[in-house]
Structures are given as structure tokens and as C-alpha cells.
A = this chain, B = another copy of it.
Amino acid sequence: MFSDETPVGRTTPPEDQQSLVAYVVDSIIDGVSKGSYAHGQRLIAADLAEQYGVSRAPVREALHVLAGEGVVEITPNRGAKIRRLSTKQLFDFLEFTESICALGVRLATEKMDEPEHVAALEVCFSHITEAWDRRHGRDFVTALYMYHVEVNRISGNQFVDFFYRRPYIRFYTILLAEKVTGIHWEQYILNYKRIHETIIEGDTHAAAATFVSHIRWVLKHLNAADTA
């Protein structure tokens, strides 16, 4: 979407991590997000082990975590590959997360009688506009993502909250943002201003409707970009 200005911080050294498995998982997710690993690329345990300075055991365990997450595919006797996603699948992913986020938005809007919830959302939204003003792509996407994380937290539905924070959702979200072209970003941020306003106003129906119509708008443009 935007050009990527900062080279993105390298992965944390193993000492700071809780376990080597977590370190390797984060490193791989990070590597995929920033494009170090191509989709469909084979991940060879021994190579990764050497690269990250650990043995094959934690690498294999990390790959199995990622397989469980749905970020890599493990074929018996054929090892792990980064899951390849077609544009169609990313489109489907967006349509899919629409349902989840819409639920989060609907439930969170009902909780806007609590001033602290409003305040928390205001902070998150300020991060969106800030990243937008700086035209910083990755930060913008991250801020949008974090906004929904907060919405889902406020929603009170623990499963929505849990689900949306899963690494693979994060991963697909970033991936999607990078693939999206032909979107009118000025309109996008305007939509979000409107969504944010309706949420904090506490009008459940309006918030859900506004959000859904925003996603429909995005889907429409994505679709157009795909078939073009």
C-alpha cells in the first residue's frame, strides 16, 4: 500500500525470549510479514536452526505451532511450507474477518456507557490518524489492527478477543494490506472516522451498519482490483 519507510526492527535475541520456540515462532512470523520468506517457500528445519543459532528441536516445535496456527503447512516427510494465499483467499479472509469484527463492533458499542472504554478507543483511534498523517503504511495497518483488538476486548466476548489476537490473523491482516491496491485511502480513513464516531456514540445499530458498509466498500474495490 504505502512505501515502507523503516526497515523494521530485527527479531529479538533469544535471551529476551521466554523460550526458543517462542523466539523462532516470532522470528518466522516476522520474517513472513516483512517478506523475507516467500509464500509457498519451503522452510528447512536445519537451515532455520543454523540461522537462529538453535538446534532443530525447537525449530521443529515452532513449525508445528505455526502449522497449528495455519501459517505454515506441514506435509508428512516433506516438511513445512509457508502457506500460499491466493488473492481470492485474502479476499475471503477479509470477508471472513468482517463478520468477526462486526460482532466485536456491535458488542463493544453496547459498552460505551463506560467512559474508560471510550477513552481507550480514543487513544487507539489517535494512533490510526497519527500513522495516517505520517503516511506510514505498516504503522497504519498495525494501528487499525490494534483498534479492533481494543474493540474486541471491550466487546466482552472472550472468544472474539482471543481469536483476533492470534498470530495468523495478524499475519494475514498485514499480508492483505500489502496486497491491497487501488483503494482510495482518503475515503478509507474517512470511513473509519465515521465508524469510530458511531461506536463511541453507543448507537449499536448504526455502528454495525457503518462498519459493514465500510467493509462492503472495501470488498467492492478489492474485487474490482482483482478482476482488472
Residues in A lying within 8 Å of B, measured CB to CB? 18-19, 21-22, 57, 60-62, 64-70, 76-77, 88-89, 92-93, 95-96, 98-100, 102-103, 157-160, 162-163, 166
Identical copies of this chain, number = 2
In whole Å, how far is A25's beta carbon from the nearest beta carbon of chain B? 9
A162 touching B70, Cβ below 8 Å = yes
In whole Å, how far is A152's beta carbon from the nearest beta carbon of chain B? 10
**Within the assembled complex, what's the spacing in Å between the Cα atoms of A61 and B67?**
10
In whole Å, how far is A70's beta carbon from the nearest beta carbon of chain B? 7
**Within the assembled complex, what's the spacing in Å between the Cα atoms of A163 and B67?**
13
Q: Which 10 A-B pairs have the closest CB atoms?
A: A68-B68, A99-B99, A92-B159, A65-B68, A64-B64, A18-B76, A68-B69, A96-B159, A92-B157, A61-B64
In whole Å, how far is A69's beta carbon from the nearest beta carbon of chain B? 4
